[in-house]
Structure 1
Amino acid sequence: MKCALVIGGSGMLTDVSILLAETGYLVYVVGRSTEKMNNLLKKSNDNKNLIPVFIDYSNEQSLNKKIDEIIQENNTIHLIVAWVHSYAEHAIQSIINGIPSTSESSRFVHVLGSRSNLDKIKTELTIPNHCFYSQVKLGYMMQDDEKRWLTHEEICNGIIKTINNKKNVHVVGMLS
């Protein structure tokens, strides 16, 4: 069974966590809120493939320890989807550094806000050859001549398209 790690997977990325579990991944879902995690598990039809991980990803030591445990249990992490707030920007490199170099490459999908400078972020990261790194930039939608935030469903669909199409960069919605 393929192994996935979804950071922010009990909040905005709930639908991504559920879809990955329903398509055969064992999904470790990083979150801090018991309430959100319980809602995720209730929403899923097949929650045996969803493993709650209650840690604060801004605590790199705890995050690295958990990633090591997941890798020991599964030999690798095939897919990582990460929505990490800017206050924990060093967590991304820490996560990437934890991906083992195996014969099978790992996939890292980095979810970013509309104001993010994708090129700058990518050049600041050291991405090993065995890791395929993609960025998903979240924009907005127009509705009745008004800008609105993306729905969780629109975000999920954009992330899944990125995973399936193996694009380096994917924009969900529109950007100014």
Structure 2
Amino acid sequence: MSIVIVGGSGMLARATEWIKDNFDDDIWLLSRNKDRYSSELLNFHNVKFVEYDYETDNKIDYEYIKDVKIMVNWVHSNGYINHQSFIESEMTIDDNCTPVYIHIVGSNRHDDSAFIKWLQNKGFKVLIVQLGFRLDHQGGKRWLTHDEISDGVIQAIQLGEDVLVSE
């Protein structure tokens, strides 16, 4: 089985490491920037890197991603069409379970109901990680840290439900 992580460096780096440490499945890192991942992660026995930009039409020439059981994705609305095409043409989902699609969205959400419906029609259980804000020491709003965002993704995977990362 496979786990696919789109954009797993940066804000999702800790969630990516947690997935590596907690799952024995093949882990596919789909990203534009291979150099943003540690060499330890890239050289781990079950990790595969594929250069991927959800804003363009992508194909994997050398291998097909088989039996996806979890996808973690921070794909913005301008890439939904290309991302759908990639899912359709480059991977299969695991028929032995209900695959989970972790859909990370910011506080200024685009109407992604058609995209979510498409994912559900493909057989995915869609879990939304909604990003909000935290309060700083003076009581004002601040951006979430990378670890707080990763914690929301990890919580969604562990609990199997939507997560709001906010106060």
For 1:41, the equivalent position in structure 2 comes to 39
Q: Secondary structure at the match of 2:10?
A: coil
Q: Secondary structure at the match of 1:60?
A: coil
Q: Secondary structure at the match of 1:29?
A: strand
Which runs of no fewer than 5 residues in structure 1 stay unpaired? none
Distance 2:58 2:134 in 1: 38
Which letter does structure 2 place at the counterpart of 1:140?
F
Q: 1:86 aligns with which of 77, 91, 96?
A: 77
Cα pair distance change 1:131/1:19, threshold 3 Å: same
- Is 1:70–2:70 an aligned residue pair? no
For 2:134, the equivalent position in structure 1 comes to 141
RMSD: 2.6
Show structure 1 runs of 4+ deviating over 6 A: none
- Is 1:5–2:4 an aligned residue pair? yes
Distance 2:46 2:144 in 1: 27
Percent identity between matched residues is 24
Distance 1:61 1:35 in 2: 19
Cα pair distance change 1:129/1:94, threshold 3 Å: closer
Cα pair distance change 1:49/1:130, threshold 3 Å: same
CA-CA distance at 1:104 after TM superposition: 2.1
Q: For residues 3-41 of structure 1, what are the alpha-carbon distances to aligned partners after superposition, in whole Å with 9 as ceiling and x for unaligned?
A: 21000112221111111111123211111113212xx33
Which runs of no fewer than 5 residues in structure 2 stay unpaired? none
Contact preservation (8 Å) 1:10, 1:30:
no
For 1:30, the equivalent position in structure 2 comes to 30
Which letter does structure 2 place at the counterpart of 1:94?
S
Distance 2:2 2:79 in 1: 24
Aligned residues between the structures: 161
Q: Secondary structure at the match of 1:48?
A: coil
Contact preservation (8 Å) 2:100, 2:125:
yes
Distance 1:22 1:47 in 2: 10
TM-score (norm 1): 0.78
Cα pair distance change 1:29/1:162, threshold 3 Å: same
Cα pair distance change 1:69/1:111, threshold 3 Å: same
Higher helix share: 1
Distance 1:85 1:123 in 2: 14
Distance 2:56 2:122 in 1: 26
CA-CA distance at 1:85 after TM superposition: 2.5
Contact preservation (8 Å) 2:69, 2:93:
no
